[in-house]
Amino acid sequence: MKAETLSGPAGLAEVRRFVDLEIAPQANTFERAEWIPREVLSRVAELGLWAPFLPSEYGGTAMDMVTLGRVHEEVGRGCSSLRSLLTVHSMVSASVHRWGDQAQQEKWLRALARGEKLGAFCLTEPDRSGSDATAEGTTAVRDQDGWVLNGTKKWITGGQVADLFMVFASTGGGMCTFLVEADRPGVRVTPLPHVSGTTASMLAQIEFTGVRLEPSALLGPQGWAAGTVMTNALGLGRYSVACGAVGIIRAAIDACAQYTSVRSAGGVPLRDLPHVRQMMSGMVTARDAGRLLCERAGALNDAGDPATIMATWVAKYHASKAAVQAAGDAVQIHGANGFSPDYPVARLYRDSKVTEVIEGSTQVQELTIAAEAYREVAQ
């Protein structure tokens, strides 16, 4: 399937119009409110964008990964907070589809595909590095009726509005994944306001105090979640973030092209200044390189190639660093206006920095990618 078309009810051109008319013009408003209105989330559902990669029997359209990447790029161009919600919801939906039993799939997938239920990915502990995926904190203890869940997760994207939490917990014999409804007794959601980036992604801290779960809440293999459910979910998350970072670069290019076409310095249009042209050239090159890397990772994923993992690492590493550079240059080009809430570039800069931290930090990626280079030489 070509990336210029979608297999679902919304074509890529329609997604662009949605972003241009309903998302990008409101993104600064969303940031100030630290909230994305329900009607916007409903529009995402109307367009079939919450989990379009699911098969048709569960309400999806079996969208390929290359096309999904372009969708997340478009949404990221308009609002990284909304793209973040798509990212974590996709991670949950894909995990239930891949690792869930028939009962779990029947219970959740159609509602997730339609956006009737929103999912959130609960991994990070409040007192541990988010990249420390093996750290114990939240625990689940087995009893005769099922499991008892205790612990706290922090920086949970969409946690304020999610209906379903996919929670990673230590069971004493390894890590397990659990599907936990947000309205279960013992679940407490606390908003995390005033963050610096993806401010409208409705972050929350989630506390689980004596939450009782049936045996059917367990998702995937018991004790092996770190190497199975988590690995696959984070891979999809990195891919979405990489594509969203390309969207940020595109937004920076658009903002700067418009701004420098109507502003001047010393009687010279900003667009004609050599240093502005140099920065714009770097943005365009970074955009094209980032998109190619994302498309390669998506194509390998569609082919079931194990090289998908490293290709996704590389795409995310390049795109996130390039987004920070592009957004920083965009602020520089805008001068004092680059710090104003009346222009989008300050938000782009804040949001771009988030892409270097989430789903594997730049520094962790450098260790992983370099290790792969040494393995290739040793072979």
List, by residue number, the catalytic residues.
359
DSSP 279-348: HHHHHHHHHHHHHHHHHHHHHHHHTT-TTHHHHHHHHHHHHHHHHHHHHHHHHHHHGGGGGSTTSSHHHH
342 exposure class (CB count in 10 Å sphere: 0-12, 13-18, 19+): exposed
148 exposure class (CB count in 10 Å sphere: 0-12, 13-18, 19+): middle
Q: What are the φ and ψ backbone dihedral angles of 307, each rounded to 5 degrees?
A: -70, -5
DSSP 29-86: HHHHHT---HHHHHHHHHTT-SSTTS-GGGT-----HHHHHHHHHHHHHH-HHHHHHH
